[in-house]
Structure 1
Amino acid sequence: MGPCQWQNARKLSGVDTTTADPLVGRLLDGRYRIESRIARGGMATVYLALDIRLDRTVALKVMHRSLAEDPAFVRRFIGEAKSVASLSHPNVVHVFDQGTDNDVVYLSMEYVPGRTLRDILRDRGRLPAREALELMIPVLAALGAAHRAGLVHRDVKPENVLMTDDGRVKVVDFGLARAIEATNQTRTGVMIGTIGYMAPEQVTTGAADVRSDVYAAGIMLFELVTGQQPYDGETPMSVAYRHVHDTVPTPSSVAPEVPPLVDTLVAHATAREPQDRPADATAMLVAAVDAHRMLPRTTTPPGTGPMLPGTNPTTVYAHPAGGPVSGARSMPQPAPAHTMIQPRTPAEEPRRRGFRPNGFLVALAAVMVVAVGLTGWYFAQPELVTVPDLIGKNVAEAEKTIAGRGLLMRQADGKHDEKVAEGLVLSSDPAADAELEKGSTVTLVLSLGPERIVVPDVSGRSSNEARAAIAKAGLTVGAVKRLPNQQVERDKVIRTSPQVGEKVRKSAKINIFVSAGLVMPDVGGMPKDEAAGFLGGQGFQVQVNEVDDDAEPCTVIAQSPKAKSEVDKGVPVMITVARCQTDWWQWFRGDNEARDDQQFSVVPGVIGKNINDAKPELEALGFKVRVNRLSNGGVVQFQRPLPNSERPPGSVVFLWQ
Structure 2
Amino acid sequence: MATVYLALDIRLDRTVALKVMHRSLADDPAFVRRFIGEAKSVASLSHPNVVHVFDQGTDHDIVYLSMEYVPGRTLRDVLRERGRLPAREALEILIPVLAALGAAHQAGMVHRDVKPENVLITDDGRVKVVDFGLARAIEATNQTRTGMMIGTIGYMAPEQVTMGAADVRSDVYAAGIMLFELVTGQQPYDGATPMSVAYRHVHDTVPAPSSLIHDVPPLIDTLVAHATAREPQDRPADATAMLVAAVDAHRMLPRTTDPQGSPVRPYTGPAHAAPSVPHTGAHSAPASMPQAAPAHTLIQPRVEAAPARRGFRPSWFLVTLAAVMVVAVGLTGWYFSQTEYVRVPDLVGKSLVVAEKNAAGLGLKVRTAQGQHDEKVAEGLILSTDPVPQSEVESGSTITLVPSLGPKRVTVPNTAGMTGNDARDTIAKAGLTVGSVKRLANQQVERDKVIRTSPQVGERVKEGAKVNIYVSAGLVMPDVTGMTKDEAAGYLGGQGFQVQVNEVDDDAEPCTVIAQAPKAKAEVDKGAPAMITVARCQTDFWDWFRRGDHEARDDQQFSMVPAVIGKDVKDAQAELQALGFQVRLQRLANGGVVQYQRPLPNSERPPGSTVYLWH
- Using the alignment, how far apart are the partners of 1:615 and 1:488 within structure 2? 32
Instruction: Give the match for residue 361 of structure 2.
Output: 404
Residues 1:198 and 2:93 are matched in the alignment: yes
1:127 and 1:178 map into 2 onto residues whose CA distance is 42
User: RMSD of aligned C-alpha atoms?
Assistant: 4.8
Structure 1 counterpart of 2:464: 507
Q: What is the alpha-carbon distance in structure 2 between the residues aligned to residue 462 and residue 577 of structure 1? A: 39
Q: Which moved more, 1:272-281 or 1:378-387?
A: 272-281
SS of corresponding position for 2:584? strand
Q: Give the letter for the 1:251 counterpart.
A: L
Contact 2:343 2:390 in 1 (8 A): yes
Q: CA deviation at 1:536?
A: 1.5
1:90-105 map, 5 Å:
none
**C-alpha distance in 2 between matches for 1:302 and 1:531:** 116
Instruction: Quote how far apart the aligned CAs of 1:640 are.
Output: 2.2
Residues 36-75 of structure 1: pairs in structure 2 closer than 5 A: none
- Equivalent-residue separation in structure 2 for 1:418 and 1:439 (angstroms): 33
Provide the residue aligned with 1:463 in structure 2. 420
SS of equivalent to 1:443: strand
Which residue of structure 2 aligns with residue 107 of structure 1? Answer: none
Other structure's SS at 1:413 match: coil
The answer to whether the aligner puts 1:560 opposite 2:560 as a matched pair is: no
Instruction: Tell me how many residue pairs correspond in the alignment.
Output: 406
- Counterpart-to-counterpart distance in 1, 2:23 and 2:354: 50
Is the counterpart of residue 237 in structure 1 residue 125 in structure 2? yes
Which residue pairs with 1:524 in the alignment?
481
Q: Which residue of 1 aligns with 2:133?
A: 250
1:293 is matched with which residue?
302
1:117-136 correspondence runs (5 A): none
Which residue does the alignment assign to 2:114? 219
SS at match of 1:544: strand
Cα 1:177–1:543 change in 2 (3 A) is same
Question: After superposition, where does 1:532-551 map in structure 2 within 5 Å?
Answer: 532-551=489-508
Shift of 1:627: 2.8
Contact kept in structure 1, 2:150 and 2:298, CA below 8 Å: no
Work out whether residues 598 and 612 of structure 2, in 8 Å CA contact, stay in contact via their aligned partners in 1: yes
* Secondary structure of 1:315 counterpart: helix
Q: Deviations over 1:542-564 (max 9, x none)?
A: 22333333322322222222212
Map Cα deviations across residues 349-382 of structure 1 (whole Å, 9 max, x no partner): xxxxxxxxxxxxxxxxxxxxxxxxx98x367653
Residue 342 of structure 2 corresponds to which residue in structure 1?
A: 385
Cα distance change, pair 459–306 in 1 and its aligned pair in 2 (3 A): farther
Cα distance change, pair 382–597 in 1 and its aligned pair in 2 (3 A): closer
Q: Give the Å deviation of 1:651.
A: 2.9
Alignment partner of 1:421 is 2:304: no
Cα distance in 2 for partners of 1:574, 1:474 equals 48
Tell me the SS of whatever aligns to 1:536.
helix
2: CA distance, partners of 1:643 / 1:422: 62
For structure 2, the 5+ residue unaligned runs are: 1-21, 26-73, 100-109, 152-164, 177-221, 236-296
> Are the aligned partners of 2:150 and 2:299 in contact in 1 as well (CA < 8 Å)?
no
Q: What amino acid is aligned across from residue 653 of structure 1 in structure 2?
A: V
Out of 427, 430, 433, the position equivalent to 2:390 is 433
* Structure 1 residues 253 and 427: CA distance shift in structure 2, 3 A: closer
Aligned equivalents of 1:284, 1:586: Cα separation in 2: 98
> TM-score, normalised to structure 2's length?
0.55
Once the 2 structures are TM-superposed, how far is the Cα of residue 527 of structure 1 from its aligned partner? Answer: 1.7
Q: Distance in 1 between matches of 2:399 and 2:23?
A: 37
Give 3-state SS (helix, strand or coil) of 1:627's partner. Answer: strand
- For 1:652, the equivalent position in structure 2 comes to 610
Between 1 and 2, higher relative CO (CA 8 Å, sep ≥ 6) is seen in 2
User: What displacement does 1:292 show?
Assistant: 5.3
Deviations 1:394-423 (A, max 9, x none): 333323332333332221111122333322
Q: Which residue of 2 aligns with 1:283?
A: 230
TM-score by length of 1: 0.51
- Long gaps (5+) in structure 1: 1-124, 129-154, 162-171, 182-190, 205-214, 224-228, 317-325, 333-373
CA shift, 1:218, in A, is 5.0
1:177 is matched with 85
- Alignment partner of 2:546 out of 589, 599, 607: 589
Verify the 8 A CA contact 2:569 2:593 in the aligned structure 1.
yes
Distance in structure 2 (CA, Å) of the matches to 1:458 and 1:127: 82
Counterpart of 2:428 in 1: which secondary structure? helix
Change in 2 beyond 3 A, CA 1:126/1:218? farther
Q: Find the aligned partners of 2:459 and 2:571 in 1 and give their Cα distance.
A: 37
Distance 1:265 1:466, change over 3 A: farther
Aligned pair 1:496/2:453, yes or no?
yes
Structure 1 residues 630 and 157: CA distance shift in structure 2, 3 A: same
Offset at residue 248 of structure 1 (A): 6.6
Secondary structure of 2:437 counterpart: strand
In the TM superposition, what whole-angstrom CA distance separates every residue of 1:605-644 from its partner, at most 9, and x where no partner exists? 4444444554455556554433322122333322222345
1:330 maps to which residue? 329
